[in-house]
Structure 1
Amino acid sequence: MKGPLFYSKILLFGEYGIIKDSKGLSIPYNFYNGALKIDDELSDTAKSSNLELTRFSDYLKTLNQNQDIKVQFDVDALQHDISKGLYFDSSIPQGYGVGSSGALVAAIYDKYAIDKITVLENLGREKLLTLKSIFATMESFFHGKSSGLDPLNSYLSLPILINSKEDLEPAGIPSQTSSGKGAVFLLDSGIVGETAPMVNIFMENMKQEGFKNMIKTKFVKHTDACVENFLTGDFKSLFKNIKSLSNTVLDNFKPMIPAKFHDLWKKGIETNDYYLKLCGSGGGGYILGFTEDFEKAKKALSGYKLEVVYTF
């Protein structure tokens, strides 16, 4: 057995801000994907995935008894498949901020949810919010608190615009241009990041008045502007706002930026060759980069592994 493919995602804008009702924009990233598979002979990686699915199935069993979640799972079928050698066959790197657990959650929901909401339905706001809420509860098994956005993106395989916690919609993003010099890219930090500790640091910081104020007056303001600029294809304003956002993150989110990248981050702001921002919760994994001239950014970042996500 091999199930359908579910793709990784990139939250272009909105990391941390969406916890505090900023806008956000999440896009599928088809370079990485995963699918449920059953094999008789399991590799070590597949065995460890199979074991994780065993624990996850126990968690879903408890969710079935929970009146708050608007779905039931066929846990018997899932556990039967696990005993047969079910695992999640994935190329999505874990701890890199591109939604490895989100794709797994989407795949499990797709295969084992009873009376699931399908992608073929007319997905109005209510159904999207229901899906997001189900996915948040499912994904919290993997790293504490989840917005449910990663699995939603993976499940729908569409760009999603987050206007606020209670208002999201599928989004149309400007078409990519192959002739354009500008690019959004991923920079590989070479370090695996963990979501839960980073989110905990953020939540602790939010108890301080100064930090809370900075989130509202600077971080959310720049994030919202970047989302608007990107969706309308106003790239001139986008780079002005990305520079401000990159600066704000460097000043206020230092624990989320691996120490050896602090200078590189600053260099981008000073030279305007590229601007860096967090990809997901930070602490490692990928760092997201924006540049008006990818060739220039490539030279400035020679020695680092870059992957282009979007060109304009």
Structure 2
Amino acid sequence: MKNPLFYAKILLFGEYGIIENSKGLTIPYNFYQGALKFEPSEMAADSNAHLRKYAHYITEHFSNQFDTEALHRDVEAGMYFDSNIPQGYGVGSSGALVAAIYDKYALNKIEIHNDLTKEKISELKATFGLMESYFHGKSSGIDPLICYMNIPLLIQSKDDISTVGLPEASANGKGAVFLINSGEPGETAPMVQIFFEKMKKEGFRNTLKEEFIKYNNACIEYFVKGEYNPLFHNLQKLSSWAFEHFRPMIPQKLVNAWKTGIDTNTYYLKLCGSGGGGYVLGFTQDYEKAKTYLKDFNTEVIYRF
């Protein structure tokens, strides 16, 4: 039997804000994928060694929720996670692995179907959060959730997550949402630590609540409706806010490009995941023009409008 594929994810809006109960919007990204396999390959031994440690973590924390005997048996037989999802790039490498393990070994698995209730989604998220905390120290469970469900999700709050429809993409559209590769991976834990250090200051807490969350939630509202003029008005504010307050999380190579986008109003950049490296997200109403400013970087379109 062929094991199912689990795709990468992109959090379009909500990075860091969802920790403080802002809204979030996340979509699957099928360009990258992973699956549990047994065929030997160069990466198999390394991945299998990591899975061996993870299997012990699952046994320790989920012994009555998972078929841990089967998991250990398969790991001993050489099972590994065959994935082209880059690690440390904010597109869900650990989330896809967590989703794959849950799908294969959970005893009372919550299946994905059209009438999945908010309660079931919330239950899945809680389980995934615990499963993924092995990799990041603390996890919201959002990444594995999107990798498992493989449909866009609207995060209204920590306990209110639902499926959402997006405006139809236009293959020949002038505007685009795109990824920029910073050229090096980032580490989630140190970036999250910086965020929590900032949260100790009242001034930062206030501006996060009064500005960042306001712009973030407005962006989600207008993106889902396909209202691009007010979307870009708020994106300009969101990108500028991040440039001022999230500077340590912006990959060094992209600091100037980030400011150029704001200064020229040609495109706006925002973090993709925790930052520090990996990808950043770009939004533009004229992708060809944006590329002239970003000619020194690899860009990858994920949505056209």
TM over 0.5: yes
- Which whole-Å CA distance do the structure 2 matches of 1:72 and 1:310 have between them? 38
User: Does the 8 Å CA contact 1:2/1:35 hold for their aligned counterparts?
Assistant: no
Moved over 6 A (4+): none
User: Does the 8 Å CA contact 2:182/2:253 hold for their aligned counterparts?
Assistant: no
Matches within 5 A, 1:137-156: 137-156=130-149
User: Does the 8 Å CA contact 2:146/2:152 hold for their aligned counterparts?
Assistant: yes
Partner of 2:123: 130
Letter in 1 for 2:281: L
Partner of 1:120: 113
Partner of 1:157: 150
**Is residue 23 from structure 1 mapped to residue 23 from structure 2 by the alignment?**
yes
Partner of 1:9: 9
Coordinate RMSD, CA, aligned = 1.0
Deviations 1:89-142 (A, max 9, x none): 001000000000000000000000001101136310100000000000000001
Partner of 1:57: 55
Letter in 2 for 1:132: K
- Which whole-Å CA distance do the structure 1 matches of 2:15 and 2:25 have between them? 9
Return the TM-score normalized by structure 2: 0.98
**Is residue 110 from structure 1 mapped to residue 103 from structure 2 by the alignment?**
yes
**Is residue 243 from structure 1 mapped to residue 241 from structure 2 by the alignment?**
no
Partner of 1:68: none
**What is the number of equivalent residue pairs in this alignment?**
305
Partner of 2:261: 268
Return the TM-score normalized by structure 1: 0.96
Superposition deviation, residue 259 in structure 1: 2.1
Superposition deviation, residue 2 in structure 1: 3.9
**Is residue 308 from structure 1 mapped to residue 272 from structure 2 by the alignment?**
no
Partner of 2:38: 38
Letter in 2 for 1:264: A
**Is residue 47 from structure 1 mapped to residue 45 from structure 2 by the alignment?**
yes
Equivalent residue for 2:289, pick from 269, 285, 296: 296
Superposition deviation, residue 264 in structure 1: 1.1
SS state of the match for residue 146, structure 1?
Answer: coil
Unaligned runs of 5+ in 2: none
Letter in 2 for 1:58: H
SS state of the match for residue 304, structure 1?
Answer: coil
SS state of the match for residue 174, structure 2?
Answer: coil
User: Does the 8 Å CA contact 1:255/1:283 hold for their aligned counterparts?
Assistant: yes
Superposition deviation, residue 262 in structure 1: 1.4
Query: Percent of aligned pairs with the same residue?
Result: 58
